[in-house]
Chains A and B, each alone.
Chain A
Amino acid sequence: MNIAVCVKPVPDPKFYDKITINPETKLLERNKIPMAINPSDKNAIEAAMRLKELLGAKVILISMAPPEAKEVLKEGLAMGIDEAYLLSDRAFAGADTYATAKTLAAGLNKIGLFDLILTGSESVDGGTSHVPSQLGEMMGMPHLNHVMAVETEGDILKIKTKIENGYMLYEGLPPMVLGVSKEINTPRYVSLMGVVKAQGKPFTVWGLNDLQLNADDVGLAGSLTQPGSLRTPPIDRKVEMLDGDIEEKAEKILKILYAAGVLN
Chain B
Amino acid sequence: MKINGEIWIVAEQVKGNLKEVSYELLGKAKELAVKDGFPVTAVVMGSGIGALPADLIAHGADKVILIDAPRLLLYQNDIYALVLENLIRKYSPGIVLFSASYSCSELSATVGAKLRTGVAAHSIDLYYNEQGELVQVVPAFGGRVLGEIFCPLTRPIIASIKPGVFKKQAKDTARQGEIIEEPAAGLEHYQSPLKAVTVVQEHLSGVPLEDAEIVLAGGWGVGSAEVWQLLEKLAQSLHGAVGCTRPALDEGWAKGEHELIGVSGKTIRPKVYIGFGISGATHHVVGIKDSGVVINVNNDPNSPVFQISDYGVAADVKELLPKLLEKIEEAK
Contacts and interface: CB of A to CB of B under 8 A. Distances in A.
Indicate if A touches B (C-beta under 8 A): yes
Interface of A: 11, 13, 16-17, 19, 21, 28, 96-98, 101, 124-130, 132-134, 136-138, 142-146, 158, 161-173, 223-242, 246-247, 249-254, 256-257, 260-263
A257 B273 CA distance: 10
A98 B307 contact: no
Interface string B291-307: 01111000001001011
A137 B112 CA distance: 10
B217 to A, nearest CB: 14
A144 B78 CA distance: 9
B312 interface: yes
Given A230-B146, A252-B313, 6 more contacts: A130-B119, A134-B112, A239-B307, A241-B306, A253-B274, A262-B213
Contacts of B285: 235
Contacts of A129: 105-106, 109, 121
24 contacts: A19-B144, A128-B138, A130-B112, A133-B113, A142-B193, A143-B77, A145-B106, A146-B102, A161-B102, A163-B75, A166-B201, A171-B195, A171-B197, A224-B116, A226-B149, A227-B150, A232-B146, A233-B289, A235-B286, A240-B311, A240-B312, A253-B313, A254-B328, A262-B238
A130 B109 contact: yes
A250 B281 contact: no
Interface in B54-105: 74-75, 77-78, 101-103, 105
A116 to B, nearest CB: 14
A225 B149 contact: yes
A250 B316 CA distance: 12
Contacts of A142: 78, 192-194
B188 interface: no
A166 B308 CA distance: 33
Given A233-B143, A237-B308, A172 B327 contact: no
B286 A230 contact: no
B101 to A, nearest CB: 6
Interface in B18-76: 74-75
A262 B214 contact: yes
Contacts of B314: 241
Contact of B320 (A134, A224, A225, A249): A249
B147 A228 contact: yes
B170 interface: no
* Chain B interface size, under 10 / 10 to 19 / 20 to 34 / 35 or more: 35 or more
A166 B311 contact: no
- The prevalent SS among residues of B at the interface is mixed
Nearest to B288: A235
B226 interface: no
B193 A229 contact: no
Contacts of A234: 289
Nearest to B163: A164
Given A241-B314, A250-B327, A227 B197 contact: no
Main secondary structure of the interface of A (DSSP, over half): mixed
A250 B323 contact: yes
B13 interface: no
B154 A224 contact: yes
A230 B293 contact: no
Contacts of A250: 320, 323-324, 326-327
A163 B121 contact: no
A137 B114 CA distance: 7
A11 B195 CA distance: 37
Given A162-B102, A226-B152, A17 B144 contact: yes
Contacts of A172: 193-195
A263 B331 contact: yes
B309 interface: yes
Interface string B134-172: 010011111111111111111000000000000000000
B240 interface: yes
B230 interface: no
Given A127-B139, A228-B148, A262-B240, A134 B113 contact: yes
Nearest to A175: B193
Contacts of A162: 102
B308 A236 contact: yes
B102 to A, nearest CB: 5
B8 to A, nearest CB: 18
A98 B108 CA distance: 13
A237 B109 contact: no
B283 interface: yes
B145 A19 contact: yes
Contact of A170 (B117, B196, B263, B309): B196
B194 A144 contact: yes
